[in-house]
Amino acid sequence: MSLFKNPANGFKYALEGVVHVFRTQRHMRFHFLTLVLVLVVSLVFRLSREEVIILMFTVSLVLTAEMFNTAIEAVVDLVTQTYHPLAKFAKDIAAGAVLITTINALAIGFLLFPGGDRLQIMGSEVGLRAPDWATIMIVTLILLSVMITMWKVAGGKGKLLKGGVVSGHSAIGFFLATTIMFMTQKIAVAIMAFLMAVLIAQSRVEGGIHTLREVIAGALLATSIACVVYLVLSPVFPL
């Protein structure tokens, strides 16, 4: 228990658990990819804040169930390497929990995305309500964070919060700068925001944490995702 007296250590070990499951479990990688697709689809269909909350909670249940399934399998394999009915029973129950959450997620997805008629029905009967900018920004930020995590883990270099094949700090900095540019639509404010993002990227290079190529990759990823979302997928800022 002493290992978790420091809250920072507990957060670090939790992230290591997520990274380990992502690297070793094919199903977890599929779930993360599905999360990316779900976030993109939620932006395309311009879901309301309440619908996004339901969607994120559902996806979180699936990811959590998969992690518990992996943990139970690891504990069972630690206890016994030979066949035992109770060991099989424990693994089957854990896998069943994943199955139930997955079926639940599919059902909710079907209810939220009823074929290609959603936009037509909403537009003609109840009116298509664009989500507020805060919902769009948060969903896009989660999407960016998930993509950075997948890229870092797949690259196998550095740690999740430090180093890696792409700079997460630079990506977040340029994402916020792009968001500020769209929100304010003022050149002077946008220039200052991007200068701050450049300073963040420069500090990562000077500190030897990332190379120039890695901070540029993070900047381009964040800026492109923000622009695509704000201009194409779910525009909420007036041009």
- For the annotated catalytic residues, the residue numbers are 66
15 Ramachandran zone, left/alpha/beta (phi>0; psi -120 to 50): alpha
Residues 144 and 33: beta-carbon distance below 8 Å? no
Which residues are CB-contacts of 51 (< 8 A; sequence separation ≥ 6)? 42, 112
**Mapping DSSP to helix (H, G, I), strand (E, B) and coil, where does residue 234 land?**
coil
Q: From the centroid of its chain, how far is CA 123?
A: 29
Rounded to 5°, the CA angle 159-161-163 comes to 55
